[in-house]
Amino acid sequence: MQVQAIELQKRIDRFQELCRTRGVRLTPQRLEVFRAVAASSAHPDAEMVLRGVQKRFPNVSLDTVYRTLWMLNDLGLVGTLGRRDSVRFDAESRPHHHYVCRRCQRVWDLMEHNPTAFAPPGEATKLGTIQEVRLEVQGVCTDCEKTDKAKRPPSKAARTKTTRTPS
Amino acid sequence: MQVQAIELQKRIDRFQELCRTRGVRLTPQRLEVFRAVAASSAHPDAEMVLRGVQKRFPNVSLDTVYRTLWMLNDLGLVGTLGRRDSVRFDAESRPHHHYVCRRCQRVWDLMEHNPTAFAPPGEATKLGTIQEVRLEVQGVCTDCEKTDKAKRPPSKAARTKTTRTPS
DNA sequence: CTCTTTGCAAATTTTTTGCATGCGC
DNA sequence: GCGCATGCAAAAAATTTGCAAAGAG
């Protein structure tokens, strides 16, 4: 699960260049966080990245890892699996894909049936059984485009947890 | 964002039938949770489902909603967007897909390039801009197949939060 | 009547934030 | 030196679990 040294160096160069281009401050922590993600093909979560980074910088904190990872994500240098917010459900039974707006988080079902899209890549069959193939298109919906800037819901903190002792 | 009454009824019938077939107890809460998901095409999260259910059953609790949703997921009646565990990162820059093992949660990159798979369905272009197309194949990897049964890590609770006062 | 499911509350887990200090540029 | 980034700790958000009481089959 290790990335080749040459490929890794290529990625790091690109990162450093992007930092200069985009005016992002290049700190040792950030470099190390990026190295940890770029060097692994195990798709680590934040905690795994932390462990990797701590080998060289024993006192980096998990929050720095999170901050850096999302920053790298903004820069387009790392991708994510899973959403940072809550899990969403749907009961549409026909096979379909999703379009997800990265600003308002709304989801549309894409019913257009391109059968090849649901055919699992042959490569996958060698890895194990296949239970589901899921395609997700991400972008910014036209509504959000119009009203530019993200309008995050006013921090759910305000809401009273559940309906606990309503009186 | 409402599902047609006929389609909704069809889904509910299927749910009730599956309950009988699979020996799942059909409680009013469960029916209502399913109705809430099946009636919406907004891909609600657990809290949104709760709000829908509470219109008829003001005292259902969020935990029941969660329990029911995952149960419906097991039954194959609802699908999910996003993972229930933590977000994972990767720094692979070439376009690629993922194979995710539902037991050990490991992820493999699928580099096999089927260009059509990355072409966003035309339907999506009408909804907004497109930033990324992501395909995820889910299943059980051969390793886990061999050692059947899921071997969930022994509840991360055991671990000492971070490196807080190690002495 | 029995055994599953519910509601409640508290615990767990994951992620974010406020603030004083430190370091890249 | 200035201002963003870090570390720390604590908050927030999301989800799960233990347990007594209620209800389905």
What are the pLDDT digits (tens) for B131-167?
888 888 988 889 888 875 544 444 454 444 333 333 2
**Domain membership flag for residue B144:** yes
Per-residue confidence (pLDDT) for residue B117, from 0 to 100: 67
Q: Is A97 buried (19+), middle (13-18) or exposed (0-12) by CB count in 10 A? A: buried
The residue among B96 and A167 whose pLDDT is bigger is B96
- CB of A98 closer than 8 Å to CB of B134: no
Nearest CA in chain B to A62: B162
Highest-scoring range by mean pLDDT, A118-127, A132-141, A155-164? A132-141
Looking at the predicted structure, is the pLDDT value of residue A85 above 50? yes
Per-residue confidence (pLDDT) for residue A83, from 0 to 100: 81
CA–CA distance, A85 with A99 (Å, rounded to integer): 16
Interface of A with B in 95-124 (CB under 8 A): 97-102, 106-112, 114, 116-117, 120-124
Q: Is B149 buried (19+), middle (13-18) or exposed (0-12) by CB count in 10 A? A: exposed
Same domain, A86 and A6: yes
Mean pLDDT of chain A: 82
Same domain, B84 and B14: yes
What are the pLDDT digits (tens) for B87-103?
998 988 788 889 988 88
What are the pLDDT digits (tens) for B20-45?
988 899 999 999 999 999 998 889 99
Q: Which residues of A156-166 are buried (b: 16+ CB within 10 A; e: fewer)?
A: eeeeeeeeeee
**Domain membership flag for residue B33:** yes
- A128 and B54 within 8 Å at the Cβ level: the answer is no
- A112 and B89 within 8 Å at the Cβ level: the answer is no
Residues 15-54 of B with CB under 7 A from strand D: 19, 25-28, 45-47
Looking at the predicted structure, is the pLDDT value of residue A91 above 60? yes
Same domain, B72 and B130: no
| Structural domain harbouring A71 | 1-93
Q: Looking at the complex, report in whole angstroms how far the Cα of residue A167 sits from the nearest Cα belonging to chain B.
A: 14
**Domain membership flag for residue B100:** yes
In one-letter notation, the amino acid at residue B37 is: V
Q: Where are the alpha helices (DSSP H) in A23-154?
A: 28-39, 46-54, 62-75, 115-118, 122-127, 142-146
Per-residue confidence (pLDDT) for residue B151, from 0 to 100: 44
The answer to whether B35 CB is within 7 Å of strand C is no
The answer to whether A58 CB is within 7 Å of strand D is no
Q: Looking at the complex, report in whole angstroms how far the Cα of residue B146 sits from the nearest Cα belonging to chain A.
A: 10
A157 — pLDDT class (breaks 50, 70, 90): very low
**Domain membership flag for residue B162:** no
CA–CA distance, B49 with A89 (Å, rounded to integer): 9
* Closest residue by C-alpha to C1' distance, nucleotide C25: A25
Lowest mean pLDDT among A158-162, B68-72, B78-82, B100-104: A158-162
Per-residue confidence (pLDDT) for residue A113, from 0 to 100: 66
CATH code of the domain containing A80: 1.10.10.10
